[in-house]
Chain A
Amino acid sequence: MPDALSPAELRPRFDPKRFSFKTTAELKPVDQIVGQDRAVAAIRFGIGIDKGGYNLFAMGPEQTGKYQVVRQFLEKAAAREPTPGDWCYVNNFADEKKPRALELPAGKAAALRERMSEFIEELKVAIPAVFESDDYRARRKAIEEHFKEEHEKVFRGVQEAAKDKEIALIRTPMGLGLAPMKNGEVLNPEQFGRLPEEERETMEKEMQELQEPLQEAFARVPQIEKEEREKIRELNREVTTHSVSHLIKELSREYEDLPEVLEHLEALRDDVVENAASFVLSSGQGGEPQGRPGMPGGPMVDPAFFRRYEVNVLVDHAGTEGAPIHFEDHPTLSNLIGRIEHQAQFGALITDFTLIRAGALHLANGGYLILDARKLLTQPFSWESLKRALNSECIRIESAGEMMSLVSTVSIEPERIPLNVKIVLIGEPMIYYLLSAYDTEFSKLFKVVADFDDRMDNTEDNHENYARLLTTLIERNALKPFDAGAVARIFDESVRIVGDKEKLTAFTEDLSDLMREADHWAADAGRESVSAEDVQRAVDEKIFRVGRIRDRMQEQIIRETMLIDTSGTQVGQVNGLAVYQLGQFSFGKPSRITAAVRLGRGGIIDIEREAKLGGSIHSKGVLILTGYLNSRYAPHHPITLSASIVFEQSYGGIDGDSASVAETCALLSALSEVPITQELAITGSLNQRGEVQAIGGVNEKIEGFYDICNARGLSGRQGVIIPASNVKHLMLRRDIADTAAEGRFHIYPVTTVDEALELLTGKKAGTRGKNGKFHKSSVNYKVEKKLEEFSERARDFNRPPKSTGTAKKKTGKKSEEPGT
Chain B
Amino acid sequence: MSQPPFRRVLVALEAGGPDEPFYRAAAELAARLGVALSALLVEDEDLLRMGELPVARQFNPLKGSLQPFEPGSLAREVRAELNETRERLSRACERLGIPVSLQSVRARPGPALEEASEEADLVVVAATGRPLARRIGIRPSTLGAALASRRSVLVLPGGELTTTRWLVPYDGTDAGKRALAVALQLAGRDGRQITVLLPGAGSDELREQVNAALPPSGVSAQFLQIEPPTLPALTELLRHVSQGTLIIDAESELLHGDAEKLITAAPGAVLLVRSG
Contact = CB atoms under 8 A, between A and B. Distances in A.
A263 interface: no
A398 interface: no
B130 A192 contact: no
Interface in A131-178: 134, 137-138, 141-142, 145, 147-148, 151-152, 154-155, 168-178
Residue of B51, B56, B74 contacting most chain A CB atoms (<10 Å): B56
Interface size class of chain B, counting residues whose CB lies under 8 Å from the partner chain: 35 or more
A151 B15 contact: no
Residue of A137, A151, A154, A172 contacting most chain B CB atoms (<10 Å): A172
B136 A177 contact: no
B138 A171 contact: yes
B57 interface: yes
A671 B39 CA distance: 135
Residue of B59, B129, B133, B243 contacting most chain A CB atoms (<10 Å): B59
B60 A173 contact: no
Nearest to A169: B138
Given A134-B242, A189-B53, A294-B243, A175 B58 contact: yes
A700 B44 CA distance: 117
B239 A141 contact: yes
A178 B58 contact: yes
Contacts of A219: 64
Nearest to B240: A138
Nearest to B76: A173
B136 A211 contact: no
A7 B129 CA distance: 120
A456 interface: no
B50 A170 contact: yes
Given A171-B138, A173-B77, A221-B134, A208 B66 contact: yes
Contacts of A170: 44, 46-47, 50, 138
A748 B239 CA distance: 118
A173 B55 contact: no
A180 B16 contact: no
B108 A211 contact: no
Nearest to B16: A171
B49 interface: yes
B136 A188 contact: no
B55 A177 contact: no
A430 B74 CA distance: 93
A179 B132 contact: no
Interface in B57-87: 57-62, 64-66, 69, 74, 77-78, 80-81
A251 interface: no
Contact of B74 (A152, A172, A217, A221): A172
B135 A225 contact: yes
A187 B53 CA distance: 8
B242 A151 contact: no
A350 interface: no
Contacts of B16: 171-173
A122 to B, nearest CB: 26
A262 interface: no
Which 10 A/B pairs are nearest by Cβ-Cβ distance? Answer: A171-B16, A179-B56, A173-B77, A186-B46, A179-B50, A175-B60, A151-B135, A171-B138, A141-B239, A176-B59
Interface of A: 134, 137-138, 141-142, 145, 147-148, 151-152, 154-155, 168-180, 185-189, 192, 200, 203-204, 207-208, 210-211, 214-215, 217-219, 221, 224-225, 294
23 contacts: A138-B239, A152-B136, A170-B46, A170-B50, A171-B15, A171-B130, A172-B15, A172-B58, A172-B77, A173-B80, A175-B58, A177-B69, A179-B56, A186-B45, A186-B47, A186-B49, A189-B52, A189-B54, A192-B55, A214-B59, A215-B65, A218-B64, A221-B135
Given A177-B58, A208-B66, A218-B64, 9 more contacts: A145-B265, A171-B129, A171-B130, A172-B47, A173-B74, A173-B77, A173-B80, A192-B54, A210-B66
